[in-house]
Structure 1
Amino acid sequence: MNISKLILSFILSITLLAQASWAQMVSTEALFKRSVIISSKEKVIQFTAREDVAKILGQMDVDPKMIEARIASMTDEEVSEIAYQIETLPAGGSAVGSVVGAAVFVFIVLLVTDILGLTKVFDFTRSVR
């Protein structure tokens, strides 16, 4: 009885492994290459049509029709590069976050050096030495 279960499980596991070995890998780019290119162009056009971007471009006397014509004349690689940069580059906001981050970093460094006894900046710390 136990041997028949062992043989049955062995045959089933070989069958399952054999079916999995027939599969082939297909990249996402190969499946959706055309739709990614179309969506990249649409993404760039939508970005330039945003209210804040259109306002800045209007201040620079740039015609929205000219922007769409230029995007349409770009190669797929150029549009993909611009779409990638739109997704990954940080937004150009104020530098308040950077200043606060730098101040916190300096505070922590001075606090650690005070605790280690290398400096004496803060009165509320006690040196380890």
Structure 2
Amino acid sequence: MRISKLFLSVILSISMLTQTSWAQMASTEALFEHSVTVSPKEKVIQFAAREDVAKILEQMDVDPQMIEERVASMTDEEASQIAHKIDTMPAGSSAVGSLIGAVVFVFVLLVITDILGVTKVFGFTRSLR
């Protein structure tokens, strides 16, 4: 037991010494140096080419070539509106999931307040008071 504690402390001290970070001031030029601007049409095409989106479009019998042709025929304003929606839409959210989460949260909150004796909503809880 004593040897394992010694061994563990040696390993932890060695691992703490090896983790170093290098911090430095970031200039504005360095931050904006790597930014690459993508046109809205290219952004829509890249989004449609993603593996998960392409799989869904394939299930809907949509040809990838048709997507590129349609995006090419869009005006810049239409493409920028779609690109903006791609950037601002929440990822993976659904109204049903949010509603179920809210109902579960309210139920748990009411059960806790019933147990603490603040409210009396449910008959199956016993108050601590």
Could you tell me which runs of 5 or more consecutive residues in structure 2 were left unpaired when the two chains were aligned.
Answer: 1-35
Cross-structure match for 1:79? 79
Give 1:113 deviation, angstroms: 5.5
Secondary structure of 1:108's match? helix
Could you tell me which runs of 5 or more consecutive residues in structure 1 were left unpaired when the two chains were aligned.
Answer: 1-34
- Does residue 102 (structure 1) correspond to residue 98 (structure 2)? The answer is no
Distance 2:98 2:73 in 1: 38
Secondary structure of 2:39's match? helix
Give 1:125 deviation, angstroms: 3.7
Cross-structure match for 1:90? 90
CA RMSD in angstroms comes to: 2.9
Distance 1:83 1:99 in 2: 30
TM-score normalised over the length of structure 1:
0.54
Cross-structure match for 2:18? none
Distance 2:51 2:111 in 1: 44
Deviations 1:91-111 (A, max 9, x none): 346766653443122211343
Deviations 1:51-78 (A, max 9, x none): 1111121122211111011111111221
Decide which moves more: 115-124 or 56-65. 115-124
Distance 1:72 1:97 in 2: 36
Distance 1:56 1:125 in 2: 52
Residue number among 109, 118, 126 corresponding to 1:123 in the alignment: 126
Cross-structure match for 1:111? 112
CA contact (8 A) 2:40 2:80 kept: yes
- Aligned residue-pair number: 91
Higher-Rg structure is: 1
Return the structure number with greater helix share.
1
Distance 2:54 2:77 in 1: 24
TM-score normalised over the length of structure 2:
0.54
